[in-house]
Amino acid sequence: MKNYQSLVDALDDLRKRGYDADFEPQSNGLYCDCLDIRLEEEEFHIDEVYRFERDSSREDDFVVYALTSNTGVRGIIVDTSRAVN
């Protein structure tokens, strides 16, 4: 796994490596608006996880997930809802 200096660096590199769909977490799984697809938990695998902290406030922390679906769609989730420990 790589060490990135910033969120922008991580997103740029992941996109270059084919993680080009943007997913958002929903209560019943993940959704990608641009592809109009929903994935349930058993339909994807988390390949990589990167945590970033901004300033001293946990409200500015976020986690980046790189994932691959069972059908081969590769994408990214940027989750700001989890605090980084």
Q: For residues 74 and 18, give the distance between their C-alpha atoms in angstroms, rounded to a whole number.
A: 7
**Cα–Cα distance list, 44 to 4, 23, 66, 71 (Å):** 24, 11, 10, 9
Predicted local distance difference test score (pLDDT) of residue 75: 98
Domain boundaries, the chain: 7-79
Q: For residues 37 and 7, give the distance between their C-alpha atoms in angstroms, rounded to a whole number.
A: 25
pLDDT at 4 over 60: yes
Each residue of 29-85: pLDDT tens digit? 999 999 999 999 999 999 999 998 766 555 568 899 999 999 999 999 998 865 444
